[in-house]
Amino acid sequence: AQKVTQAQTEISVVEKEDVTLDCVYETRDTTYYLFWYKQPPSGELVFLIRRNSFDEQNEISGRYSWNFQKSTSSFNFTITASQVVDSAVYFCALSEARAGGTSYGKLTFGQGTILTVHP
């Protein structure tokens, strides 16, 4: 069975601080995908990133960066110089990636981390 754990329920920072959101996962699959989604106060889910299990290269996109470490089953997300608009709930998710597409993309989500950025 797959499991995603986001140990930080809530994080509060002041604008311009850097903040890291932790994500630890469990899976028996050798190939899988990891995701981060943002859910702003309006409620919709915004896709941020997808990572293949065989690609451990870290990724940076503007103020966002992701650190994938297979050895510790972690996929952490860092926001540099946080802004008030970053306030949202952030979800880490996992999907198996079996050959032939038999996993059908079913996502297992973590509990989410509420990030509040104060001005």
**82 or 95: CB nearest other proteins:** 95
Is residue 34 within 8 A of residue 67, CB to CB? The reply is: no
Interface with other proteins, residue 100, by CB under 8 A:
no
Specify the length of the chain in residues.
119
Contact characters 47-86, other proteins, x per CB under 8 A:
x--x------------------------------------
Q: How far apart are CA 83 and CA 89, in angstroms?
A: 14
Where in 15-112 does DSSP place strands (E)? 19-21, 24-26, 32-39, 46-52, 59-61, 64-69, 74-79, 88-96, 107-109
Interface with other proteins, residue 107, by CB under 8 A:
yes
Interface with other proteins, residue 24, by CB under 8 A:
no
Stretch that binds other proteins, among 11-19, 60-68, 75-83, 101-109 (CB under 8 A): 101-109
**Of positions 7, 45, 60, 81, contacts other proteins by CB under 8 A:** 45
User: Least Å distance between CB 115 and other proteins?
Assistant: 14
**68 or 110: CB nearest other proteins:** 110
**Residue 70 vs residues 26, 39, 50, 96: alpha-carbon distances, Å:** 11, 26, 15, 15
Amino acid found at 26: E
